[in-house]
Each structure stands twice: as structure tokens, then as C-alpha cells.
């Protein structure tokens, strides 16, 4: 008993806190932070006192086992290269003995035989990682955390590829957009139908990215209008012709002999814009100036349906934004970016600022 008391007194004299006596089992060990059906979160505190550089100034290196979908972190201590399994905390660390002449690629060759290889991007296999320097209970440590979303990533990829969001629609776990955004944009460009864009909008809302434009649903309004107006015009023409024919009979001695009446079809035709180009030209090919003039014409609004007119207005806004993006001044682009928060505008602003600095 006296020896125990003396030992404790010795530790106290050396400034050693009681919690430091028991942290040996918490350092250099992978622990579970959170498990859900679609995400696994692991954490490890590694002591920095004996860590040595491996490659490129870094004191850690991520390796990946494709067979087991395991991510490991490689550390270099004084006499060993140690690989900790960040995906499976129950597995013991693997070590390769080292000396002054041992290079890191010797250790990599050994771990390669065990299934672990260098991986350039953890995102490509559904992982995210964060690394920071922390003091843990008084000791200098390297905190490494990994989050695995490989199962959820597969579901999102299938939903995007098939344009069917039903399987991910009700999943509450959020997938980091950095893992899937480039894949999503590829299939957004390929979407051709309204139904496909509606499914992509559901996925975009879950990822919290900009949703694709969804065109208005096509209706049979235009055809119905044609079927309804054509008979009316014919009846009106017939009535006018009958009226004029009767007037001709009454005024036959004077009008027919001296001055024939002009064709009645010109008088009864509906007002149309002063342009011989079809509606499809202004919807897909016309320049901003041509389109603005066409829309400003009152006859255009009277001759087109509500949906047709709104589609022309949308294209005008698109052309205006495109012109602003390509030809707008730095001040105009900054003002637009404050409103739309479009990263494309930010990239354009940075390039203009860089060019302006280089010119000076």
C-alpha cells in the first residue's frame, strides 16, 4: 500500500494528470463515431511525437483495398511503417519493419501484396476524409476522420443513370455533393425529355445543387385553336361574301361597271406581325435584337398563344444573360453574381480580375 501511494505521489510531482494515465488505449486506435444504414463514420487520434515524413512532406498516406472496400492510413514511425484500417476498427494494424535505408515504396510493395494500394481520390470510392492537428488530453495528435458513403453513392448513381429518383427519394442521409456532382452534370446534359428533368430535379434538391430547367408541358391548345378558328374564319368570310354579293346586286348599275371592289380576303385576315419568318425561327435561331423587336410588336402578342409568347420571353432572358456573361463589364458581372450566386459567374469574375491585374 505504501509503495502504491509513493508511486502516485511520484506521478503527481512530475505534473502528470490522472487522465493521462489512461489515454494509452485511446491513442493510435480507430474508433466508431456513428453508424447508419448508408454512412459509417470512424475517427482516430495518432500521436505526432514519433511521426516521420512519408512522401511529399506528408506524414500520412491513404491506401485502398478494392476487394474489401477498406481504406487504410499509412504512418511512418521510427522503426516501422504502420497501416491502420479506417474502415474496420476491429482489424489489427499491419506493420512493416524499417531502418534508415528502408524507403516508403518498400513498405508500399509489402502492403500491395496484402491488397492495399495508393488511391488518388477517396471520393471515387465513396469516402470523405478530414485531417487536422489536435491536442487530445494534453498530447499532440493527428486527428483523422473518414466517412463512408459507398452504398448510398451507388444508389444515387443508379437513380441518375436511369432517371428514376424513387429509391433515394425518402432517404434522409445526405450524400455530400462533392462525391456525385460531376456524375450528375453528365446525365443532366443528356436529359432530353421533361420526365427525365423532373426526376433530376428531385435528385438535385436532395443534393442541394441547382435544379435543371423544366420546360412547360405541351398541350393541344394550339391545335384546338386552329380547329376552332378556321371554321369561324370561313363562316365570317362566307357571310361577308354574301353581304357583299347582295350589296353588289343592289348597287350593280354603279359599282361593277366603273370600279371593281378589291378582294375581300385581305380585309378579313387576322393581324399578323410584319415578318415573314416563322415562330420556330424566333424561338431557336433569332438574335437578341431580332427577338426583342419581334416581341415588342403588338401584333406578335395578339397572334401567339400565351405559352408561345412566354417561351419567347424566356429565350430573350437567356440571351440577355448570355450576352452579360460574355460581354458584361466586371462591375456588371459582380452585381449579377450577388443576385444569382452562380459559380460560373464567379469563375468569370476571377478571370477578368486576373487579366486586369496582369495588364497593369
Q: In what order do the strands lie in the sheet with 139-148?
A: 29-36, 39-47, 139-148, 127-136
Q: Cα–Cα distance between 95 and 273 in angstroms, integer?
A: 82
State the cell numbers at 135: 491536442
Q: How many CB atoms lie within 10 A of CB 206?
A: 19
SS3 144: strand
Higher pLDDT among residues 343 and 179, named by residue: 179
State the cell numbers at 230: 378556321
pLDDT digits (tens, 9 = 90+) for 145-167: 999 999 999 999 999 999 999 99
DSSP 15: T
Crossing angle of helices 150-162 and 181-190, in 10° steps, is 10
Q: Cα–Cα distance between 173 and 113 in angstroms, integer?
A: 36
Q: Cα–Cα distance between 256 and 249 in angstroms, integer?
A: 9
92 and 103 in contact (C-beta within 8 Å)?
no
Cell 489512461, located at residue: 22
State the cell numbers at 217: 408541358
Predicted model pTM: 0.55
Which candidate, 180, 170, 183, 167, places its Cα nearest to that of 207?
A: 180
Q: Cα–Cα distance between 243 and 249 in angstroms, integer?
A: 10
Q: Is the dihedral of CA 11, 16, 20, 24 positive or negative?
A: negative
| Domain residue limits, the chain | 23-148, 151-207, 328-359
Reduced DSSP (H G I as helix, E B as strand, rest coil) percent helix, strand, coil of the chain, to 5: 50, 20, 30
78 and 66 in contact (C-beta within 8 Å)?
no
Q: If you average pLDDT over residues 27-37, what whole number do you get?
A: 93
pLDDT digits (tens, 9 = 90+) for 238-270: 555 455 544 444 444 444 344 444 444 433 333
pLDDT digits (tens, 9 = 90+) for 45-104: 999 988 888 888 888 999 999 999 999 999 998 888 999 999 999 999 999 888 777 778
For residue 152, with 0-12 CB atoms within 10 Å meaning exposed, 13-18 middle and 19 or more buried, which class applies?
buried
Q: How many CB atoms lie within 10 A of CB 192?
A: 8
Helices (H), the chain: 2-13, 104-112, 150-162, 181-190, 194-207, 221-250, 255-258, 265-268, 279-284, 288-296, 298-303, 306-327, 330-340, 343-359
93 and 82 in contact (C-beta within 8 Å)?
yes
Q: If you average pLDDT over residues 293-300, what whole number do you get?
A: 84
- The number of CA neighbours under 13 Å toward the Cβ of 208 is 7
pLDDT digits (tens, 9 = 90+) for 103-130: 788 888 999 999 999 998 999 999 999 9
Cell 427519394, located at residue: 169
Q: Cα–Cα distance between 97 and 170 in angstroms, integer?
A: 49
Whether 275 has a pLDDT exceeding 90, the answer reads no
**Residue 3, pLDDT score:** 53
Whether 38 has a pLDDT exceeding 50, the answer reads yes
Q: Cα–Cα distance between 337 and 331 in angstroms, integer?
A: 10
DSSP 113: T
**Residue 249, pLDDT score:** 44
**Residue 173, pLDDT score:** 94
With a CB cutoff of 8 Å and minimum separation 6, the contacts of 25 are none
Q: Cα–Cα distance between 98 and 106 in angstroms, integer?
A: 9
Amino acid at each position: 500500500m505504501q509503495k502504491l501511494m509513493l508511486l502516485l505521489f511520484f506521478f503527481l510531482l512530475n505534473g502528470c494528470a490522472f487522465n493521462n494515465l489512461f489515454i494509452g488505449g485511446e491513442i493510435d486506435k480507430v474508433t466508431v463515431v456513428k453508424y447508419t444504414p448508408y454512412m459509417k463514420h470512424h475517427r482516430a487520434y495518432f500521436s505526432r511525437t514519433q511521426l516521420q515524413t512519408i512522401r511529399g512532406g506528408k506524414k500520412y498516406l491513404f491506401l485502398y483495398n478494392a476487394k474489401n472496400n477498406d481504406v487504410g492510413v499509412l504512418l511512418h514511425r521510427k522503426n516501422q511503417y504502420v497501416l491502420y484500417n479506417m474502415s474496420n476498427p476491429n482489424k489489427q494494424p499491419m506493420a512493416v519493419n524499417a531502418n534508415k535505408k528502408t524507403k516508403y515504396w518498400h513498405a508500399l510493395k509489402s502492403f500491395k501484396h496484402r491488397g492495399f494500394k495508393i488511391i488518388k481520390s477517396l471520393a471515387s470510392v465513396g469516402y470523405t476524409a478530414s485531417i487536422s492537428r489536435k491536442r487530445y488530453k494534453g498530447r499532440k495528435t493527428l486527428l483523422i476522420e473518414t466517412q463512408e458513403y459507398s452504398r448510398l453513392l451507388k444508389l444515387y448513381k443508379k437513380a441518375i443513370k436511369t432517371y428514376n429518383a424513387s429509391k433515394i427519394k425518402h432517404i434522409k442521409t445526405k450524400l455530400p455533393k462533392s462525391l456525385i456532382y460531376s456524375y450528375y452534370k453528365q446525365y443532366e446534359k443528356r436529359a432530353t425529355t421533361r420526365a427525365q428533368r423532373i426526376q433530376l430535379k428531385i435528385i438535385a434538391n436532395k443534393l442541394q445543387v441547382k435544379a435543371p430547367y423544366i420546360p412547360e408541358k405541351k398541350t393541344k391548345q394550339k391545335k384546338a385553336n386552329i380547329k376552332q378558328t378556321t371554321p369561324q374564319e370561313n363562316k365570317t368570310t362566307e357571310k361577308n361574301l354574301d353581304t357583299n354579293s347582295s350589296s353588289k346586286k343592289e348597287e350593280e348599275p354603279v359599282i361593277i361597271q366603273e370600279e371593281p371592289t378589291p378582294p375581300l380576303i385581305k380585309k378579313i385576315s387576322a393581324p399578323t406581325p410584319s415578318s415573314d419568318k416563322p415562330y420556330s425561327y424566333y424561338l431557336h435561331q433569332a438574335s437578341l435584337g431580332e427577338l426583342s423587336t419581334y416581341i415588342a410588336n403588338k401584333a406578335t402578342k395578339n397572334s401567339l398563344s400565351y405559352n408561345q409568347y412566354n417561351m419567347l420571353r424566356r429565350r430573350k432572358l437567356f440571351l440577355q444573360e448570355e450576352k452579360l456573361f460574355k460581354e458584361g463589364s466586371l462591375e456588371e458581372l459582380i452585381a449579377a453574381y450577388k443576385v444569382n450566386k452562380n459559380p460560373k459567374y464567379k469563375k468569370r469574375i476571377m478571370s477578368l480580375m486576373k487579366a486586369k491585374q496582369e495588364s497593369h
